[in-house]
Structure 1
Amino acid sequence: MSPLGVEIGGDATRFTVRAPLADMVWLCLFSGAEETRHAMVRQGPEWTLALPGNLTGAHYGYRAAGEWAPERGLWFDPAKLLVDPRAVELDRRFVQDQRLAVHGEDTADIVPRAVVPAAAPPPALDPPRFRTGGLVYELNVRGFTRLHPDVPEHMRGTVAALAHPAVLAHLKKMHVTAVELMPIVAWVDERHLPPLGLVNAWGYNPVAMMALDPGLCPGGVTELRNTVAALHAEGIGVLLDMVFNHTGESDGLGGILSLRGLDNGAYAHAPDGALINDTGCGNTLDFANPAVRRLALDAMRHFASACAVDGFRFDLAPVMARGPGFDPAAPIFAEIAADPVLSTRVMIAEPWDIGPGGYQLGNFPANWLEWNDRFRDDVRRFWRGDEGIGKLATRLAGSSDVFGPLAPHSACRSVNFLAAHDGFTLADTVAYERRHNWANGENNRDGHGENFSWNHGVEGSTDDAAVLAARKSDLKAMLGTLFASTGTIMLTAGDEFGRTQHGNNNAYCQDNAIGWVDWEGRDHELEDYVAGLGAARMTYLAAFQRFEDHGTWHAPDGREMTVADWERPGENRLDWAYTGAEGTLSFTIDRQERRVSAIARAATA
């Protein structure tokens, strides 16, 4: 199988792209606005061309000709400049434009050109800087530092800003073991956003799976590699949030930017030819297609090998195992496990999509971690007052009802969280009962309708000291619960100091103060409280990796608790302890007093 993308070797530069149904493909080289086209040669489903010389830094794209029959999945239009699906660097960001979807309209002036990358020795591939049971810190690269007062203005909102000493100091204060970067590959705005004066601020609408977005990472691979190295030097791992479930070409009314104009068979289609939409984004990549799996594997391998990232979180991960139904033995899992690079990396699934049978929590491979939304919902419902202490105990002990009993020497696979990028912030969970998404331009219809949230006083009010004290008490109780739980835990950036989105629970299109982290207005006392929780957890980290070896439950009178105790109506208190070589860490959760308390006792000699 010949390598896809660009290869420089000897005295030539070879370009190879997959377009199995095309009649002709051209390599298009650019010098400013001037375009030179070179006819490529078919080799089976691929087209290739070698040009003399080392073309490092050259700007290029493709055009493909063939039948135009969208009703049969044929979208060939030589007027469309197409981005190499294997591009690793682009000269500009994607922009949404109606010409992208109009047959015969040339798009060379609006579509990014790929850049032939310079060869660089890959960094050493060390074991992941990741500890199961530790703290994963989810962040939006742009929103995280856009308002940071200590980060120089020219760096704010970029990947490089994550390596700034002030940012590193905060991550270390919180005892973060890995940052999880929301998508940083090149994406395009959904077509309904520009007319509303909005943009996609999260990046979950990718076009080029291997190319870093020039706005977030203007220094390209070098910038990401240097930032990863800086985080690694502080003992912090780096996880990339990858969107392999769909692309920004969207539904049949979407644009022609890359795969649609080269190999539309990459998308899943129903028997009648209609695009399958298991993602809610207009299309779904077909992981039953070996070419799609190859693209995903190549993208992961690129970031692991070229940038030394420690692992990946997969958005709407069941799509990766669909063919079309979810298969826990899907080929992609075996291919990752057999890969000498990827088999060493951390894999985290968001285990749901909106397709048939799309909720698959607990059904991913035994060495994968999974976002556990049941932890989020049950903890929120417990502190709201409508869930029993037995369910809470199950969540605290690693959700064995979901993941089953732990195999010997294995760690809990649950990623426990209270809030994520998608949904209310943690502070808004105790300040708003209903979403307030009016700024999104969809008449407040978008976003989750049920958040298991509550409020003290008037929704969002900030002028009543008693209300604010009650909210902070609830925040501390939930955060204490999170940091006391078995499994890996995740905190979304800013939730440690009371970040608010003013009730917007779907801020994907808010590249403004709604979506940016407010560093000046943070609650320092709450931040210090969370830092203390992190310190205690790190001291006893091994105890939080598997409950059976280290945890015991006790009733308030000291006797060991039973299931009957957990299910007793009206029970509001739970006591338990983790033991390890360092000593014993005992916790008490008391719903009536709205508190989680901990006592540490060092091991005696």
Structure 2
Amino acid sequence: MNVSFSELSFLKPELGAEYTGEGTHFAVFSAHAEKIELCLFSEDGSSETARLPLPKREGDVWSGYIEGIGPGTLYGYRAHGPYDPNNGHRFNPNKLLLDPYGKQVAGTFAWDDALFGYTIDGTGNDLSFDERDSAPFMVKGVIQDPAFDWDGEQAIRRPWTDTIIYETHVRGMTMAHPAVPEDLRGTFLGMASDPIIEHLTKLGVTAVELLPVQYFLDDRHLLERGLRNYWGYQTLGYFAPQARYMKSGRITEFKTMVKRFHAAGIEVLMDVVFNHTAEGSEHGPTLSFRGLDNLSYYRPSPENPRHTFDMTGTGNTLNVAHPMVLRMVLDSLRYWVQVMHIDGFRFDLASALGREDIEFDREGGFFDAIRQDPILAGVKLVAEPWDIGAGGYQLGGFPHPFREWNDRFRDDVRRFWKGDDGIVPVLAERVAGSPVQFNHSDRGATASINLVSAHDGFTLMDTVSYNDRHNEANGEDNRDGHPENHSDNMGVEGATDDEGIKNARARRRRAMFATLMASQGVPMILGGDEFGNSQGGNNNVYCEDNEIGWLDWASGDEAFLAFCRKMVEFRKENPSLRQERFLNGEPGEGGHVEIAWYAADGRPMDEGAWHDEALRIVGVYISRNGVAESAPANGIFLVLNAGADSEISLPHVNGTERWQRVLDTACFDGASDDPGPVRAARDHELVAGQGVTVFVPADHG
């Protein structure tokens, strides 16, 4: 191929490969390189057709413009510079490097020793220099035309108070669904197919949160065991959709998925992994960032820059404290919002992003940059509030507008319904939106993302079916995954034909799901929980891209699905359950009560009751704040009973003396789809054990 950079090469502000309509502008960052070459490839990627040094450097950005090449062209980079691992430099021009800003990835990544910058000889010596060309085994970037017909599509921007998140996986959701066309299973188009959208809309969720869909790699050790990276937490391309999720290989399929979800009123959130990359530790391969500028892109060990500083458990930590690395992260986020129309992000191990140096800093550069950005500050931002470094657990420590995954909600709700001692006080905190963690710094009651299960850990069904994890299929001698799941098999480990145990499990699942829907904060449902999906006790299916990890639609529990739909609808119908600000536990003006807790005898909980280790039942009255003049019609009284059947006395509060009994999760036994008839309540009511019973004022309307 006879191509050359234009003598009129200019510096555009964008990094990456930007098609202008007449040619393509290439730009890449490296502070320590001495030369960077652009490599062009044949249509099938098998042969390198041109190798051209980028002609222009301004600051640390290398660039050049080539007329006449455009969409579909395959390319990569080679970077020249010092190979000096002891000082953090690992330049090796024999290694083809993926553009960090590449919008699409082409080809098949094939693990080979040639992908490593050093020679693998079994000694673990990463100081040697490998001269083999990695291009035959390496994926390439693809120049894109950003044009797409978004006609009629609009961002939803639903308030957090009205949001119900559904966490799921593109392949897991679609691979075993009998109504999804076979050729679309496992793809973005399958995810946006009619059967999936119909299921989600009938369930009533308002947002899907997709496990990582940016381009990621399969770990070498997993492939050698006959497994692969299912979840996707090994990102290599922060701007490119995962290739295996595209039927035709065109990124327009991702945009089509988003457009179809938006048409159905469902927002799309992405789980993003900016804390580390797929290149691993200094013993990992040289695929992109390491070869372009190892010392800038990764945090070096404070003791020796030869080694990467690992706060993520994966071998490296992306250095978002560096201005150009931070820019890449922000550019990536803006790209997914502006070009791909994504509605928000869940940040994996987000504490690592808040470490300016070593310590977590909630006023750090990453958070400041997000908050001042007019594009990003307006989308949904969710933090996983921990990493594995010292001081990494930061639940409640993130600034507005971030919301946070609340693992304490999961653990405390499970412990209460399992019958652990002394859990009522912490359960009250969770139902109230976890104010101890979040009611500060002008944060609202939607700061907590409540969950009873997530992709990492037991499903809701497995929480009531297994005492112990069963991860033998992962090939790690059942040592991986959380050892403590606060689960209870209720008499039999795993599946059973015992109707009594099956009914008891269903009752507890209903109670936990109802607690999730009745609590202040933002509920998140794990995909499949709504119909009883099980992973056979495997609580770490990160490598199980098979029937273990996929949703088992064929075994779906239709009765439980009907109940979950009812509970989602109930939450939407009752604004008291989803308020913007935290509720005041002390009577306000005119004696108006926003939230109050009651013992079974109808009296307010006192110190003795709160400290009763054996207490298994508690009632809570919740009223909409700021509407004292119509308080009786806005109140709701919940009774959570993890013990035996019990008689309760209904309170007289905010002028309400007569109640209606509107929902009883314990009576929903699968025989009908109506979780309890609506009827007038007596002053003294019998409430079933292992259930949530709901009362509203008699004039509720």
TM-score by length of 1: 0.95
* Matched residue, 1:50: 65
Is 1:496 the counterpart of 2:518? The answer is no
RMSD of the alignment, in Å? 2.0
CA distance in 2, matches of 1:179, 1:565: 40
Q: Look up the match of 1:587.
A: 638
Q: Give 2:494's aligned residue.
A: 460
The 3-state SS of whatever aligns with 2:64 is: strand
Q: Taking structure 1 as reference, are residues 425 and 122 closer, same or farther at Cα in structure 2, changes over 3 Å only?
A: same
Report whether the alignment pairs 1:537 with 2:571.
yes
Q: Describe the shift of the 1:561–1:72 C-alpha distance in structure 2 as closer, same or farther (beyond 3 A).
A: same
Alignment correspondent of 1:402: 437
Equivalent position of 1:388 in the other structure: 423
Alignment partner of 2:396: what SS? coil
TM-superposed deviation, 1:151? 0.5
The answer as to whether partners of 2:576 and 2:635 remain within 8 angstroms in 1 is no
What residue number does 1:71 align with?
86
SS of alignment partner, residue 263 of structure 1: helix
Describe the SS at the equivalent of 2:605.
Answer: coil
| Alignment-mate amino acid for residue 519 of structure 1 | W
Distance 1:75 1:501, change over 3 A: same
Q: Answer yes or no: is the 8 Å Cα contact 1:384–1:453 preserved in 2.
A: yes
Aligned residue runs from structure 1 range 558-577, under 5 A: 558-562=602-606, 564-577=608-621
**1:174 paired residue number:** 203
Matched, 1:428 2:462: yes
Q: Does the Cα contact within 8 Å between 1:583 and 1:602 map onto a contact in 2?
A: no
Q: How far apart are the structure 1 equivalents of 2:21 and 2:264?
A: 40
Question: Residue 621 of structure 2 aligns to a residue in which SS?
Answer: strand
Give the Cα separation in 2 of the matches to 1:523 and 1:486: 27
| SS of equivalent residue, structure 1 residue 192 | helix
* Aligned partners of 2:576 and 2:623 also within 8 Å: no
Which amino acid counterpart does residue 636 of structure 2 have in structure 1? L
Determine helix, strand or coil for the equivalent of 1:209: strand
Please say if residues 470 and 538 of structure 2, whose CA atoms lie closer than 8 Å, have aligned partners that are also in contact: yes
Who is 2:280 aligned against? Answer: 250
Q: CA deviation at 1:3?
A: 1.9
Q: Would you say 1:280 and 2:298 are equivalent positions?
A: no
Change (3 A) 1:217 1:473: same
Cα–Cα, structure 1 residues 118 and 534, in superposed 2: closer, same or farther, change >3 Å? Answer: same
Task: Quote the residue 2:114 is aligned against.
Answer: 99
State the shift of 1:12 in Å.
Answer: 3.2
Q: In the TM superposition, what is the alpha-carbon distance from 1:162 to its structure 2 partner?
A: 2.2
1:98-126 Cα distance to aligned partner (Å, 9 max, x none) = 33124222221221111111032685763
Mapped to 2, the partners of 1:594 and 1:211 lie a distance apart of: 47
Per-residue CA distance 1:473-507 (angstroms, 9 max, x = gap): 22111111111111001111001111111111111
Aligned to 2:588: none
Aligned to 2:98: 83
User: In the alignment, is residue 40 of structure 1 matched against residue 75 of structure 2?
Assistant: no
What one-letter code is carried by the residue in structure 1 that aligns with 2:613?
A: P
Aligned residue for 1:215, secondary structure, equals helix
Q: 2: CA distance between counterparts of 1:133 and 1:571?
A: 33
**Residues 455 and 591 from structure 1, CA distance in 2 versus in 1: closer, same or farther, beyond 3 angstroms?**
same
Q: Which moved more, 1:466-475 or 1:372-381?
A: 466-475
Distance 1:406 1:591, change over 3 A: farther
How far is the alpha carbon of 1:21 from its aligned partner?
1.5
Preserved contact between residue 22 and residue 76 of structure 1 (Cα < 8 Å):
yes
Deviations 1:221-244 (A, max 9, x none): 422222112111222111100000
Q: Distance in 1 between matches of 2:51 and 2:536?
A: 51
**Equivalent position of 2:268 in the other structure:** 238
Aligned counterpart in structure 2 of residue 295 of structure 1, from 323, 328, 352: 328
Q: Which has the higher contact order (CA 8 A, sep 6+)?
A: 1
CA contact (8 A) 2:228 2:545 kept: yes
Within 5 Å, which residues of 2 pair with 1:315-334?
315-323=348-356, 324-334=358-368
The match for 1:216 is 245
- Tell me the distance in 1 between the aligned counterparts of 2:700 and 2:476: 61
- 29, 42, 45: which one aligns with 2:40: 29
Output the amino acid matched with 2:621.
A
CA shift at 1:396, angstroms?
0.5
Structure 2 vs 1, CA of residues 94 and 565 (structure 1 numbering), >3 Å: closer, same or farther? farther
Contact between 1:94 and 1:187, CA under 8 Å: does it hold in 2?
Answer: no
Query: Distance between the aligned counterparts of 1:23 and 1:366, measured in 2?
Result: 41
Aligned identity (percent) is 42
Q: What CA distance in whole angstroms lies between the structure 2 residues aligned with 1:97 and 1:174? A: 46
Matched residue type, 1:240 = M
Residue 318 of structure 1 and its aligned partner are, at CA, apart by 0.6
Cα deviation per residue 1:558-588 (whole Å; 9 max; x = unaligned)?
A: 3333455333332221112333477443321
Amino acid at match of 2:409: F
What amino acid sits opposite 1:109 in the alignment? P
Q: Number of aligned pairs? A: 604
- Residue 341 of structure 1: how far off its partner (Å): 0.8
The 3 A distance-change label for structure 1 pair 299 and 454 is same
Deviation of the 1:22 alpha carbon: 1.6
Give the corresponding residue for 2:220. 191
Residue 95 to residue 526, structure 1, CA distance change in 2 (3 Å): farther
1:321 and 1:332 in contact (8 A); partners too: yes
Aligned match of 2:290:
260
Q: Does 322-331 or 595-604 show the bigger shift?
A: 595-604
Question: 2 CA distance for matches of 1:548 and 1:517?
Answer: 38
Asked if 1 retains the 8 angstrom alpha-carbon contact of 2:435 and 2:582, the reply is: no
Do the aligned partners of residues 555 and 400 (structure 1) sit closer, same or farther apart at CA in structure 2, a change above 3 Å counting? same
One-letter amino acid of the structure 1 residue matched with residue 67 of structure 2 = P
- TM-superposed CA distance for 1:307, in Å, is 1.5
2:692 aligns to what?
A: 596
Larger mean Cα displacement after TM superposition, 168-177 or 541-550? 541-550
Q: Distance in 2 between matches of 1:310 and 1:57?
A: 28
Distance 2:531 2:228 in 1: 27
Amino acid at match of 2:692: V
Within the candidate set 314, 328, 344, 2:347 is matched to 314
Alpha-carbon distance in 2 for matches of 1:228, 1:188: 23
Q: Name the aligned partner's letter for residue 425 of structure 2.
A: G
The answer to which of 297-306 and 23-32 deviates more is 23-32
